[in-house]
Structure 1
Amino acid sequence: MELQKPRGTRDFLFEEMKERKFVEKTMKKVFETYGYQEIKTPIFEDLSLFTLKSGEGIIEEIYHFQDKGGRDLALRPELTAPVARIYLNQLQKSPKPIKMYYFGSCFRYERPQAGRFRQFWQLGCELIGGKSPDCEAEIIALASHCLEELKLEDYQIHLGNLGILRGILNQEGVSNHQQDQIMAIVDKGDVLELKKLLKEFKIDEKSGNILLELIGMHGHREIIDDVKKIIADYPSALESLEELEKLLTMLESFGFRDYLVNLGIARGLDYYTGCVFEIYVEGLGAQKQISGGGTYNLIEVFGGEKVESTGFAFGFDRVMEVLKIQKTKPPIKSRLEVFVAPISPETKLNAFEIAQQIRKKGIRTDVELVGRKLKKILSFADNSGARFVVLVGARDLKNGEITLKDMRSGNQEQIPIETIADVLIQRINSLK
């Protein structure tokens, strides 16, 4: 029987995992620099957590099942809803704002293609109880900071505010359910389907034309005045535009000016209510979006009090793909720093003792385990990336010494056994 991994999943081997761990560690360090703390949620949750307010597109893609007790469960398709549950279960009385970040795998049953998998990873954060647009500005600056640290190039951050479009639809008396349908089509960028839907919902021609014009508007701060003229007769939409304008001002105080206003951003989840943003990188084809987020009202939907929340997540796999395309190779440590080699079978146990002595000093160390001859041991140690080999011979042991070989220079020297770990620490630090 030939064993295959499930469709839409991947195996990550040694070098790729080193790269992924480096990127993960770099991003987490930035999150913590901004005062965020890490949380973990279960990989599966009650199905209702995601079906209550996650958008029809995601509901169709959920991996769901019943456990042996007949409970309806689902593999998490995203991580914002679990964060809202954590808040409701344990954090409602905590001082606000609450800053949390997470990293974990998510699952959606969709057609696998370039940049899209059935198991994928998200690294993101949520800020619960902050005040907009202050928290939105900080979160957008945080997202940009992560990409700067990774030296990722040519990314664009697009900003919008769903309140502008919803303000027009509210004035037209469009129901929340119909608005969600419209937003889903806007998110897909399907103008023809949007026109059909606006006609089907009998939306006033003037308002419909304004909606179509707005979702095609992209530009820098100067387009705000143009938008004001277009939506002059829609007070609620104007109020949301003013919020967006305040956000742009605050972003500048965070030292961030490289953005595009894009009123066609809708996001694929129904719970976003105000500011939304997405980050794009050319070169990924149709899957050029590497991050997205905004302000949402999910906690109230789940039965909690009304509390403003803002968050975003990186599509971690797409970030990795961009770094690969841009040939930005994360710095990777070799697997080993030291290899301990018994020269003869009778020194094997001594080699184990010395290897443990070195490992307890935090030095990445391997030891010969399969009984090879010295020439093959040295070849294996070299291929493993070890800079130093500790040769354990019977004659040296009688003198309380071992031989230290520098694999780069070929130099060898005798070192007292009791000082070998400290000598290695000095040598390794001098190479950094």
Structure 2
Amino acid sequence: MEFKKPRGTRDFLFEDMEERKYVENTIRTVVENYGFKEIKTPIFEDLELFTAKSGDGVKEEIYHFQDKGGRDLALRPELTASVSRLYDNNLQKSAKPLKMYYFGSCFRYERPQAGRYRQFWQFGIEVIGGTPIYNEAEIVAMANEALSKLNIKNYEFAIGHLGIIKGVLNHLHISSEIQTQIIASIDKEDYELLDNLLDDCNVSEEYKSIITSIINVNGTLEDLINIKSLVKDIEDSLNAVENLEEILKTIEAFGFTDYTVKLSIARGLDYYTGLVFEIYVPDLGAEKQITGGGTYNLTSLFDSEEVESTGFAFGFDRIMEAFHRQNIQIPASSTPKVLVIPVKKEFKLEAIRIAQELRKENIITDIDLKGKKLKKNLSYANNHNINKVIMIGQQEVENNTLTVKDMESGEQSTIPQTEVIETILN
């Protein structure tokens, strides 16, 4: 019987994993330089954790099941809810801010297509508590720095603030249920639906015009400042504009200025309360969004105290797709790789001893214990990017020497065994 991988999943081979590990480690280095520490949560959680956050409708989009004890569980479709649960269980009394990151696979039951898989990976960042404006600016700057370090090209960074549009809707006394529908219509850019919803709420042409002007802002900090006059009589909206203005000025203090103020970003989820942002790579076409995040409050799902959080998640697979579309090459590794070849089978034990000496010095070392011909071993070394080959024959054993071949230059020399570590590292 032939078994194939499940629909919507992928196998990753050696080169795939080398690239993915490079991208993962590059992002890790950036976020750890900002003081973030790694956490892990279970791959499955109580189903109710996700339905409480997203409603019962989410069941159609996720893998959920009953275990042998009759408990309703689900494979995590994303990680934000799990992180909030982790905070509620373990970290409520910890000193703030809590700066954490996570990397792991998620699962959604949806039709597989380009850029969408049933198993996918997220690299997420969360900061809980602390000084909101500083947290928000730092997170935006950090996301930009990670993409810059990866050499992703032509990405677009759009920043908005949900408090501006929500301030208008609150001013008009629109119910939270209808507000959710309005925000969703803006998120989907379904402006016909938006107009119908505003008509149903008897919103005047004056306020329709204000809402339209807000969601049409797609430019600079100056464009944001220009709408102050529109919302001067709507206190919550004016406060949100001024809040975003301060956040953007703080972001620029971090050295990041190449962003767009886009007030139509809505994220489509109820729990976002303030800053929202998205990052797009146009080269990816319809699946161009690689990151989304903002400021939110999920602690209301639990009995914990209300605390503001800011976070985002990189769609790791889409970053990898951008890597390939833009033909980005990972840097050549400077770590030496060695292949030890015993010329005859009676020299295998000596080859093992030499290999172990190299490994103790953290030198990546392979060894031919199959007894392949020298030509095949050299071909193997070339195919696996091995820098140096060590050959052990009768003469080397008798003289306590080793023959070392540099696979790049082709040069070959015989050295005392005592100098092997120095020779390989230099």
Question: Shared fold by TM > 0.5?
Answer: yes
Report the Cα distance in structure 2 between the residues aligned to 1:379 and 1:270, rounded to whole angstroms. 58
Distance 1:201 1:302, change over 3 A: farther
Deviation, 1:15, is: 0.9
Q: Which deviates more from structure 2 when the two are superposed, residues 215-224 or residues 24-33?
A: 215-224
Contact 2:336/2:424, CA 8 A, preserved across alignment? no
What's 2:315 paired with? 315
Does residue 146 of structure 2 align to residue 146 of structure 1?
yes
Provide Cα deviations, 1:378-414, integer angstroms capped at 9, x if missing partner: 2222222222111111232122222212223333222
Deviation, 1:57, is: 6.9
What's 2:284 paired with? 284
Report the Cα distance in structure 2 between the residues aligned to 1:354 and 1:273, rounded to whole angstroms. 61
Residue type of the partner of 2:364?
Answer: R
What's 1:429 paired with? none
Report the Cα distance in structure 2 between the residues aligned to 1:41 and 1:179, rounded to whole angstroms. 32
What's 2:161 paired with? 161
Deviation, 1:43, is: 0.9
What's 2:81 paired with? 81
Residue type of the partner of 1:4?
Answer: K
What's 2:389 paired with? 389
Deviation, 1:278, is: 0.8
Task: Tell me the number of residue pairs that the alignment of Structure 1 and Structure 2 aligns.
Answer: 426
What's 1:262 paired with? 262
What's 2:4 paired with? 4
Distance 1:301 1:203, change over 3 A: farther
Contact 1:55/1:268, CA 8 A, preserved across alignment? no
Q: Which deviates more from structure 2 when the two are superposed, residues 239-248 or residues 168-177?
A: 168-177
Deviation, 1:184, is: 2.1
Deviation, 1:55, is: 5.9
Deviation, 1:351, is: 1.4
What's 1:369 paired with? 369
Residue type of the partner of 2:271?
Answer: Y
Question: Structure 2: 5+ residue runs without aligned partners?
Answer: none
Deviation, 1:99, is: 0.4
What's 2:404 paired with? 404
Does residue 274 of structure 2 align to residue 274 of structure 1?
yes
What's 1:195 paired with? 195
Report the Cα distance in structure 1 between the residues aligned to 2:185 and 2:217, rounded to whole angstroms. 16
Q: Which structure 2 residues correspond to residues 68-217 of structure 1 after superposition, within 5 A?
A: 68-217=68-217
Distance 1:204 1:47, change over 3 A: farther
Provide Cα deviations, 1:48-99, integer angstroms capped at 9, x if missing partner: 1111123677554222111111111111111111111111111111111110
Residue type of the partner of 1:371?
Answer: G
Residue type of the partner of 1:37?
Answer: K
Contact 1:198/1:208, CA 8 A, preserved across alignment? yes
Provide Cα deviations, 1:168-218, integer angstroms capped at 9, x if missing partner: 211222222222222222212221222233334554554344323422321
Distance 1:114 1:55, change over 3 A: farther
Q: Percent identity?
A: 55
Q: Which deviates more from structure 2 when the two are superposed, residues 12-21 or residues 376-385?
A: 376-385
Provide Cα deviations, 1:295-349, integer angstroms capped at 9, x if missing partner: 1011133221111111111111111222222222121439971111111111122
What's 1:430 paired with? none
Report the Cα distance in structure 2 between the residues aligned to 1:218 and 1:15, rounded to whole angstroms. 40
SS of corresponding position for 1:421:
helix
Question: Structure 1: 5+ residue runs without aligned partners?
Answer: 427-432
Residue type of the partner of 2:301?
Answer: V
Residue type of the partner of 2:143?
Answer: A
What's 1:222 paired with? 222
